[in-house]
Amino acid sequence: MANQLPSALKNVEELKEKFRVKKPLLFLDFDGTLAPIVEKHEDAAISEEMRDLVKQLSQVHPTAVVSGRGMKDVSQRVNLPELYYAGSHGFEISGPRNFIKENDEAQKVLPIFDKIEPILKEKLQDIKGVDFERKKFTLAIHYRQVDESRAPEVHNRVSEILKDYPELLKADGKKVIEIRPAIDWHKGKAVEFLKLQLGEKDQNFSVYIGDDVTDEDAFKYIDDGLGILVGDHGNKTYADYSLEDLDEVKEFFKLLLKN
């Protein structure tokens, strides 16, 4: 059981009771929550069953997907055009009827990403298995396929280069380093923004489901709802409940859909 948190499955009736008082808005992370973690980031996929459950849920409760992936990438993988999507850890947001919102301050940092990407690639080229994933507003350096003994070297080399770029900061995820604009914006703030698009002011209750340390920004930030941690990322969590894995996520969705 993740982090000794109470199980969202075992407490589902209590949660549904809360939903009767205030209408829930659902915020769902992608990798590790809707799609299983796999070796190569480009192979991640949502199952038909999970997609169908998210579709059904979104017809009952306003739903958004909040991901570290690029916005286009995650929206294509989920492939439910009726949903809102926050990509690049919330720096880019899209929604139905061509809704687009990008973080203006982060736009200014884009040329620095263009500059630093080849430098990092050159510095890390001798470490077998390092893989880059450029999103519009963030750059991921994956090391899932790097020999474990060399992972600290990847971190150290990236930190060393970033010392010259105060406009960027280094964050960690599951076997990935995420380079982000050094701006006070994250998944939690993206959720606050999305609440205004999806719900009515002060009338809703936010439910955020995620598995990674970057989801903690949302767990911490949401003050009118609850967080559900999938699995265990090994760090302190601000979530309120847990689900063990994707099978439990599906089970939880099925119970939410039951009258």
Ligand X SMILES: O=P(O)(O)OC[C@H]1O[C@H](O[C@H]2O[C@H](CO)[C@@H](O)[C@H](O)[C@H]2O)[C@H](O)[C@@H](O)[C@@H]1O
Of 30 and 205, which CB lies nearer to ligand X in the complex structure? 30
Return residues touching ligand X (CB under 6 A). 29-32, 37-41, 44, 67-69, 133, 140, 142, 144, 173-176, 178, 212, 214
| Distance of alpha carbon 233 from alpha carbon 51, whole angstroms | 24
The CB-of-206 to ligand X minimum distance in angstroms stands at 17
29, 73, 211, 215: which is the annotated catalytic residue?
29
Residue identified by tokens 């739903």 is 63
User: What are the backbone dihedrals phi and psi of residue 214, each rounded to the nearest 5 degrees, phi first?
Assistant: -70, -20
Of 39 and 224, which CB lies nearer to ligand X in the complex structure? 39
Both structure tokens of 169: 């900061």
Of 130 and 140, which CB lies nearer to ligand X in the complex structure? 140
Both structure tokens of 53: 């459950």
The CB-of-203 to ligand X minimum distance in angstroms stands at 27
**Relative orientation angle of helices 48-60 and 246-257, to the nearest 10 degrees:** 40
DSSP string covering 27-44, please?
EE-SBTTTB---SSGGG-
Residue nearest to ligand X (CB): 68
| Burial group, residue 203, by CB count within 10 angstroms (0-12, 13-18, 19+) | exposed
Of 142 and 195, which CB lies nearer to ligand X in the complex structure? 142
| Distance of alpha carbon 180 from alpha carbon 106, whole angstroms | 9
Question: By three-state DSSP, how is residue 138 classified?
Answer: coil
Give how far Cα 239 sits from Cα of 78, 203, 226, 256, Å. Answer: 24, 22, 7, 19
Contact 85/229 with Cβ under 8 angstroms?
A: no
* Residue 29 designated active-site: yes
Of 41 and 189, which CB lies nearer to ligand X in the complex structure? 41
Question: By three-state DSSP, how is residue 143 classified?
Answer: coil
| Distance of alpha carbon 126 from alpha carbon 248, whole angstroms | 40
Question: By three-state DSSP, how is residue 243 classified?
Answer: strand
Of 37 and 255, which CB lies nearer to ligand X in the complex structure? 37
Residues serving a catalytic function are: 29
